[in-house]
Each structure stands twice: as structure tokens, then as C-alpha cells.
Structure 1
Amino acid sequence: MGSGAMADSFKNGWLALAPFKNAWSHRQLVRRFVGREVVGRYRGSIGGLSWSLVQPMAMLLVYTFVFSVVFKARWTAQNEIAGVSFAVVLFVGLIVQGIFAECIGRAPGLIVSHATFVKKVIFPIEILPVVAMGSALFHSLVSFVVLFFAMLIAGNAFHWTIILIPLVLAPFLLMTLGLSWFLAALGVFLRDIGQMIGLLVTALLFLSPVFYPLSAIPESYRIFLMLNPITFPVEQARDVLIWGKMPSWSGLALYSVVSWAVAVLGFAWFQRIRKGFADVL
């Protein structure tokens, strides 16, 4: 292999790892900003951080009453055998979707709302989507704690596959981060993107198996739902958390490759057009 080919190979390898190297090199700053954002969300309220626990608890109670008592909803025959309420199954899907909705929903306005970092301060603005992801993860972790307590109180079985949930969600978080970088950069030049994303996130919620099992959809239409970035992680999260199933390793591998590509391309897009941010802001 010639020196030019080796240089290109090295450069391509560096580009593939660039998003992760960047986040790692600024990890202290990311941690500080995530903490500030989490605390700042509840600043001035009497309950403070306790609201991060109260809100998912209240949501789960509402879901349990509405779907289990009012609608008497059932998931599948498997649900009745496992003794898992519809609300618990639904809550898992909503936790996963909530991470996506918060990160993608905020992404178009991230740079615009931090314009001073672009104009006056030497600041690694590419970490802002990572900070938003960290805040979303904090609240999702609290929701998972609420979910586990609800399962414990209801007498639901805990399967050893629960330890695989980080492995299942890691590619999903990677894809969400890549999309966030792309939308954060695009949102600087196209302000209407924020309104469009709100509609898109709502559409993706109902076009993913959050409120219904994928098996309830005619097989000829399932391929379209599988193109939804939320569908696969929602299904896999339920499998390892509730049903005690192993994840689809082939599906997870494919999803991971696509997520890696989305993250690298999203980061590259952000870095490429960031030079024009100051002119627009």
C-alpha cells in the first residue's frame, strides 16, 4: 500500500471516530453542561429535581388507569401469560420514544439559542447535541427506575436479559445523536425546520409500535414501519426488559452500522457548515 493510500485510510479511519473523539476530549465540559441543564430545568420550582421523579410516576399512573381500567387494553396473549399490564408495555415504548423526541425536537434550535457561543466565545458548539442527549438520558434513567419499581410492585418477572438494555439502546442513541447534529446545523439556516420536526416526531410516534405491537400491522406494511428509526429499538427494548427474549443480533448489527454511518455523516455535516453560523446569527 502506497503512502497516499495509507494516508487516506488513516484519514478515513479518523473521520469514522471523530464524533466519539470529540465528545471524549470535551467530556468534562459535557458533564458540567448536562448537570447545569438538568438542574436549570427545575430551577425556581418548589419541588426541584424531585419533579424528574414525580412526572414519570404520574405518567405511569395515568397510563395504568386509562388503558388498564378504562379501555381494558391488552397487548397480546403473551401479555396475559406474563402478567404484564398494557401500561407497563406502553411505558417502555414511550421512554425510548421520549429520548428521540426530546433530542430531535430540540436540535433545530440548539445553535440559535446559544448564539453567543458562536459569536463571542471559543466554544466547541458541536457538543451541544451531546449535552441535549445527556439531559434526555438522565430523565430516561429516572423513568426506567419508575418502570422497575412498578414491575416490582405488580409482581412482574425480572429476566436476566434486562442487563442487555444498554447494548440495545446504544445504536439508537448513536443514530439520534447523528440526526441531532444534522438538524442543529440545518436549523441555523432554515428556521422553519423546527416546526416541521415537531410534526415529524408526532408522526413517527404513531408510525412506530409504541401503542400497538408490530404483529398487529399487516405484514405488507411492516417494512415501512421498520424504516422508522424508533421501531427497532422499541421492539428490542420490550424484548429484553419485559419478555425476557434475546435481542435480534443480526438486526442489531445492521442497525448499528446504519447508526454509525448516520452519526459520522451528521457530525461531518455539522463541522463542514459551521463556519457559516456566525454570518447568519
Structure 2
Amino acid sequence: MLQSIWAYRYFIFTSIKNELKARFLRSKLGAVWMIIHPLMQVLIYAVILSEVLSAKLQGVTSKYGYALYLLAGMLFWTLFSETVGKCVTLFVDNGNLMRKIAFPRICLPIIAAGTALVNNLLLAAAIFGVFAVLGHFPGAQVVWLPMLMLLTLLLAMSVGIFLGVLNVFMRDIGQIVPVVLNALFWLTPIVYSLNALPERFQRWFGLNPLYSLVTSYQSVLVYGNPPLWADLGRLLLAALVMSVMAMIVFRRSSAEMVDAL
């Protein structure tokens, strides 16, 4: 698979470029739309919830502390949810392409993940611009942000590919995943701090596997602290195991997927 990805690297890069172009063809604002939607969502949450939650953000002295906290969490969530969402419907949406053209099927999730990563990098640039306007400048710990983004991408791809293969044979998966993602968004401390919850719930919400990732984003971008290395190490191991399992399922089901599509 790695040899196939390298051999078709120009096909992958061109496909990512063409997908980004096609999305905003005839659009006046172009790539700006990729960052408007998440930023508007952050603005809505910040306006509605900041008065309720901002006072409970420990260690943030800025009066825009809640907005900063929310922007950091949304940067993580946008990359994770977009990658999973793309991979789940990927094989079904590209059924005609898989039947008619001979190419390594693994290129499809790589293209989807690459597109999501480019979108997230543009969003990150916009968020850093907002940080500067609000007078907040992340410290030296921000150098760990690329590593956190890659770990997020690895986890999202492993989950998305596995569910994408299942979705070919059980189309209900494509309907269930958006519901689960919506629930997972509220079970992850993105629009609230874990400290704002009653103590009896904090331990249970802390068991969320995404907790260490989103908290690490918030630590390096808002608080200037290092990531949660111990928790991230366990999450990386789990992501690697899941990615191996996803690749095994993908390879064994590749021929059957074409027939099912």
C-alpha cells in the first residue's frame, strides 16, 4: 500500500487540488468559505455561552478567554469530524470511479484526508489571526500543534476507513455516524470546561478518548502548557492498532466493495 501511495503521489496531489477548486468554482470568496462556517459557529457559541461559562475557565485571564478556548477546541473538532465524515461516505460516493478506473483504492481516503488537512490549515491560520486581534499570542508549546493535528488525522482516518468499508455493505452506517458525531461533540469538552461539570460526571467524561486530544489543543494554544503526553501516548498506540485493523479490513474487502457498489 505504501508503494502504491508513493507511485500515485501526483494523482493524489492533483486530486486534492482539483477537489478544492471544484468546491469553490464560481464562488467569489473561494477558500474563505472553508473558514467562515466554523468561525461563525464559534461566534454563535461564544455570544450565547460565554456569559455562562467564561468565569469557570481556570488559568485564562483574558476577557476573551472563552472565545480563545472555544477556537482551540473547534480547530481539533473540525479536522476530526470532517475526516471521519468524508471517509464514511467515500467509497459509496466514488463507486463509479472504483468500477471503471484501475487505481489503488487506498488513494481515496488519502485524498479525503489531505483535503480535510488543507481546510484545517487554513482554519488554523484564521484562528491565529483572531488570536492576534484579541491580543493572545500562544507560547513556545505551540510547536506541538502539527504533531497533534497528525495524531488527530491518524485517529480520524482509522475510524473513518473502517466505518467507510462497513457503509458499503450496511448503508445505515452513513446515517448513524452523523448522529454519533453530534453526540460526541457535546460529550467532548469543546464548548465547556471539564471543571464546569459536577464532580460525579467529570471522571466519566474524562474517559472519552478524544478528551486528551482536545485538551492538548487547548493546553498549547490557550494555556501555554505542554500536551498531555501520557494520555496521548496511549491514544497513539490505540490509533495505530485501529489503523492496522482498518487496513486489514480494507484490503480483504476491496474486491467485494466493487461488486457491492
Is the 8 Å Cα contact of residues 98 and 258 (structure 2) preserved in structure 1? yes
1:279 — aligned with what? Answer: 259
Query: What are the equivalent positions in structure 2 for 1:76-87 lying under 5 Å apart?
Result: 76-87=56-67
Q: By how many angstroms is 1:119 displaced?
A: 1.2
Is 1:248 the counterpart of 2:228 in the alignment?
yes
Q: By how many angstroms is 1:50 displaced?
A: 3.1
Pair 218,66 (structure 1): closer, same or farther in 2 beyond 3 Å:
closer
Is the 8 Å Cα contact of residues 97 and 230 (structure 1) preserved in structure 2? no
Query: Which one of the candidate residues 141, 146, 150 is aligned to 2:126?
Result: 146
Separation in 2, partners of 1:148, 1:200? 30
2:47 — aligned with what? Answer: 65
Pair 64,203 (structure 1): closer, same or farther in 2 beyond 3 Å:
closer
Separation in 2, partners of 1:206, 1:60? 14
Separation in 2, partners of 1:27, 1:229? 32
Q: By how many angstroms is 1:55 displaced?
A: 3.7
2:33 — aligned with what? Answer: 51
SS of residue matched to 2:137: coil
Is the 8 Å Cα contact of residues 208 and 230 (structure 1) preserved in structure 2? yes
Query: What are the equivalent positions in structure 2 for 1:104-115 lying under 5 Å apart?
Result: 104-115=84-95
Is the 8 Å Cα contact of residues 57 and 193 (structure 2) preserved in structure 1? no
Identity fraction in percent:
26
Normalising by structure 1, report the TM-score: 0.84
Q: By how many angstroms is 1:258 displaced?
A: 0.8
1:179-229 Cα distance to aligned partner (Å, 9 max, x none)? 111011111101111110011000100111011112233455445434434
SS of residue matched to 2:106: helix
Pair 219,271 (structure 1): closer, same or farther in 2 beyond 3 Å:
farther
The residue identity in structure 2 corresponding to 1:212 is Y
2:105 — aligned with what? Answer: 125
SS of residue matched to 1:124: coil
What residue ranges of structure 2 are gaps of 5+ in the alignment? none
Is the 8 Å Cα contact of residues 189 and 214 (structure 2) preserved in structure 1? yes
Is 1:168 the counterpart of 2:148 in the alignment?
yes
Q: By how many angstroms is 1:47 displaced?
A: 2.4
Pair 228,37 (structure 1): closer, same or farther in 2 beyond 3 Å:
farther
Separation in 2, partners of 1:22, 1:75? 52
Query: What are the equivalent positions in structure 2 for 1:6-25 lying under 5 Å apart?
Result: 22-25=4-7
Aligned-residue CA RMSD (Å) = 2.2
The residue identity in structure 1 corresponding to 2:188 is S
Separation in 2, partners of 1:176, 1:75? 32
Is 1:225 the counterpart of 2:211 in the alignment?
no
Separation in 2, partners of 1:75, 1:157? 21
Separation in 1, partners of 2:59, 2:41? 21
What residue ranges of structure 1 are gaps of 5+ in the alignment? 1-17
1:155-199 Cα distance to aligned partner (Å, 9 max, x none)? 113211111111223222111111111011111101111110011
